[in-house]
Homo-oligomer: A and B are copies of this chain.
Amino acid sequence: MIAVTILGNNSAVPAYGRHPTAQVVQTREQFFLVDCGEGTQMRMDQHKIRRSKINHIFISHLHGDHYFGLIGLLNSYGLNKRENALHIYAPEGLEHVIKIQLALAEAHLPYPLHFYNLNEEGIILEDEKILVSTFKVNHRIPCFGFLFKEKKFPRKLNIAEVKKLNVPKEFYENLHYGEDYVLPDKTVISNEQLTFPVLPPRSYAYCADTAYFENICNSIHGVDLIYHESTYLNELSAKASARFHSTAKDAAMIAKKSNAGRLLLGHFSSMYEDLSEFEKEAREIFENTEASVEGTCYVA
């Protein structure tokens, strides 16, 4: 299960109580922050997300509405005496901006801070539970999407069956990962007989900011949940293209061509107070669409 809490779903200028981009992606006791617009640390407080749980931060690009809240968050971590390492994945240049500001304040963070420059597509983080990869989107300056894929959950042992058939303990790990067991007399016992099924691994893709860009579909094909920017409605598609942004229709096309399970819209222009037209426009192409709401946790 992947849970995405929207902290900010507006485009650059805050409006109608909506804030610049930030969201928290949660899976199997890990919390990831994706983008960090101004005020993100306050939004975390507001929505009861513990800042200290975040160890990895992904910044899509260096337009300010996606990172101006980062320096304040790093600063607060320091004042709160954080000790755990923090890992930041961002296009080149961010490390310099952060370090200049720390130097001006003569501030020394009490925790290790690691920067990783985003350049190429591919895997940027992997552990036994999750795989995070990045892919290029199409914006005015270099901009990256992120794909979070849970790894297969280990199947749960059916202890009664396992003991009845005297499966040796050293084979348990193989059972967790789906192997059948062969008895000494060569009888094959199917894995299904010895284990219980678990939830299938889930996936989530974050795509903002970007013009309509079909390459994305290859990178995220079959994703369970996609957040795709939709700054404008289709009536302003020329403006959207000119500014390397998408319309609700564009987002729905990408979701459809990606064979995604569900679409979340966001990064709404400050022109729009009512967002119902975004849902209406997108649903004509991709039914399972919602206009994201700040503070709401969406589960893939």
Interface: A145 (CB within 8 A): no
| Known A14-B42, A106-B140: A64·B75 in contact at CB below 8 Å | yes
- Distance between A77 CB and nearest chain B CB, rounded to angstroms: 9
> Would you call A198 an interface residue if the criterion is a C-beta within 8 Å of the partner chain's C-beta atoms?
no
Take A38-B38, A38-B41, A38-B72 as given contacts and tell me if A63 and B12 are in contact as well, using a CB distance cutoff of 8 Å: no
Q: Which residues of B contact A75 (CB under 8 A)?
A: 12, 64-65, 68
Residues on B with C-beta less than 8 A from A19 are: 42
Binds B, one of A96-104, A149-157, A260-268: A96-104
Give min CB distance, A286 to chain B, whole Å: 29
Q: Which of A13, A94, A106, A107 has the most CB of B within 10 A?
A: A13
- CA A50 to CA B45, docked complex, whole Å: 26
Inside 8 A of A38's CB, which chain B residues have their CB?
A: 38-39, 41-42, 68-69, 72
**Which B residues lie within 8 Å of A65 (CB)?**
72, 75
Residue of B nearest to A14 (CB): B42
CA of A264 to CA of B79, assembled, Å: 25
Complex contact B39–A105 (CB within 8 A): no
Q: Which residue of chain B is the closest to A12 with respect to CB atoms?
A: B79
A132 within 8 A of B: no
A79 touches B141 (CB 8 A): no
CB distance from A176 to the nearest CB of B (A): 43
A1 to chain B, nearest CB (A): 30
Residues of B within 8 A of A131 (CB): none
**Residues A105 and B72 in contact, CB atoms below 8 Å apart:** no
Task: Give the residues in chain B near A101, CB-CB below 8 Å.
Answer: 62, 64, 97
Which of B45, B71, B93, B96 is close to A14, meaning CB atoms less than 8 Å apart? B45
Can you list 23 residue pairs at the A/B interface with Cβ under 8 Å?
A13-B76, A13-B80, A14-B42, A38-B38, A38-B39, A38-B41, A38-B42, A39-B39, A62-B104, A63-B107, A64-B71, A64-B75, A64-B105, A64-B107, A65-B72, A65-B75, A68-B71, A68-B72, A96-B100, A97-B97, A97-B101, A97-B104, A105-B141
